Amino acid sequence: MVDEARIRSQFPILDQEVHGHPLVYLDSAATAQKPVSVIDAVRDFYLRDNAGVHRGAHELAARSTVAFEEARAKVAALVGAESHEGGEEIVVTAGATAALNLLATAFGNASLGRGGGAAQRFALKPGDEIVTSKAEHHSVLLPFQELAYRTGATLKAFDLDDQGRILAETADQVITERTRVVAITHVSNVTGAITDIDPIVRRAHQVGALVVLDVCQSVPHLPIDLHAMDVDFAVWSAHKMYGPTGVGFLYGRRGLLEALPPASFGGSMVELAYMDKPAQYMDPPARFEAGTQPVAQLIGAGVAADWLRAIGMDRIAAHEATITRGLLRLGQVEGVRILGPTTPENRIGTVSFDVKGVHPHDVGQFIDSRGIAIRVGHHCAQPVHRHFGLFASNRASTGIYNTVAETDALLEAVAEVRHFFKVD
């Protein structure tokens, strides 16, 4: 088990009162708090080493470049994507949303004939299919929906069971010989349900389709090995894994990244540029990293990755499973409905719920008055809310710093909501 006191001491932001109550932070699915080591790393970079990477000959540029690439390697190690087949498999982006848009744009560029013959494996045309699910965050759904519009491909979706789990067992029916891309979440940011991706990946590869996996909600909570999972691409953000905002990652198999055409253009990604013929672009990952890099943010993310590995992802998962069991007691509160699995198996500590007769915004404000931070709204996932017959919900989500006492405080506050609003 983790040392709760030692862990919490590394998050000074938690040592405060909100509205006269000790802060209980249960919004880590939106963004996790940052340990002091991450904050210090970002600060120290700006104090001592700040410079552009990969294109300076002076000492600060050299130190910045080394730190940048060392941080990339640390993030790769966290997800089992170390240097492979002679090059890196991790592309640095502005976040998971940027990574997904990068992929959708690159696939669209390939569909226009960009990238040569090797890029045709990414090209789509009318009659092709893109498969996603009703559980997706809008950052997965919308880029690939737009890609379908641009190319004439058909967008299809896995349906969900009554607990909001993706019906992976229908993979053989949903994924057909016409499917070219499967873009799907590993863990729902609404229900906390873990997707059984094995049959989805197996069927996708059987028909020659590419698998894009959203691991935003799994990397901070579960042991992840992208090689073992056999996915082609994956995306996640640093700020949910206790790192800084403004940086995220695209994992891609080396051979796929080499064939993928670029999606954005400018400095740092071109080998040779001409006025009278097409440019010659750099090898990946630089090909996909146009412009000035988020150097300090990546360095902070590297520290966060090392910090997680030092604790141990198995230990983190075990600790959060205990907290999850506490959160699931919300289902025992009169008038409260949990959206998603009501037992702790095959889920993480992200629990969305509806309080009968009270608007989620009102619930959230009441909970906040008790010093407890939760999420309100549709959580950028409207289709899954419609699946449950709702437009919005409240969401409590755990991090390594949460305790059973904090879930008790949430339950006590939620139990007061309907009485406060006079709907019981």
Instruction: Quote the DSSP letter at residue 288.
Output: G
Token readout for 240 is 């949910």
For residues 188 and 217, the answer to whether their CB atoms sit within 8 Å is yes
Residues 159 and 173: their CA atoms lie apart, in Å, by 11
CA 286, CA 269: separation in Å to the nearest integer? 5
| Distance in angstroms (rounded) separating the CA atoms of residues 278 and 233 | 27
C-alpha–C-alpha distance, residues 320 and 404, integer Å: 10
Counting every residue written for the chain, the total comes to 424
Buried b (16+ CB within 10 A) or exposed e, 206-226: eeebbbbbbbbbbbbbbebeb
Give dist(CA 315, CA 267) in Å, integer. 42
Contact present, 8 and 14 (Cβ < 8 Å): yes
Look up 380 and say whether it is catalytic. yes
The residue among 221, 199, 405 whose CA lies nearest residue 311 is 221
Burial of 369 (0-12, 13-18, 19+ CB in 10 A): middle
Catalytic residue among 94, 157, 311, 380: 380
Q: What distance lies between CA 412 and its chain's CA centroid? A: 30
Nearest by Cα to 222 from 352, 351, 78: 78
Pairing state between β 372-373 and 24-25: parallel
What 3-state DSSP class applies to 129? strand
Positions annotated as catalytic residues are 380
